[in-house]
Amino acid sequence: PSRWLSALVTAQKILKDIDQIEFVTFTAKDVVRHPVVAKIITAYEKSGN
């Protein structure tokens, strides 16, 4: 549920200053293998999560 903070978001905040760690955010435009994955990403983007 959106009222809970994602563990990944927490990890990004904690680990952001470690040079050897990088987080990459993908969008629907990055998906090239399967159309259903692009649809899933688009659905999440529209929901605001």
pLDDT tens digits for range 14-44: 999 999 999 988 887 887 778 898 898 889 8
What is the value of pTM for the model shown? Answer: 0.48
Domain assignment present for 19:
yes
- Structural domain includes residue 1: no
Please report whether residue 27 resides in a domain: yes
Provide the 10 A C-beta neighbour count for residue 37: 14
Q: Is residue 2 part of a domain?
A: no
Q: How far apart are CA 14 and CA 33, in angstroms?
A: 32
When pLDDT is cut at 50, 70 and 90, the band that residue 5 belongs to is confident
Residue 42: burial class (beta carbons within 10 Å; 0-12, 13-18, 19+): middle
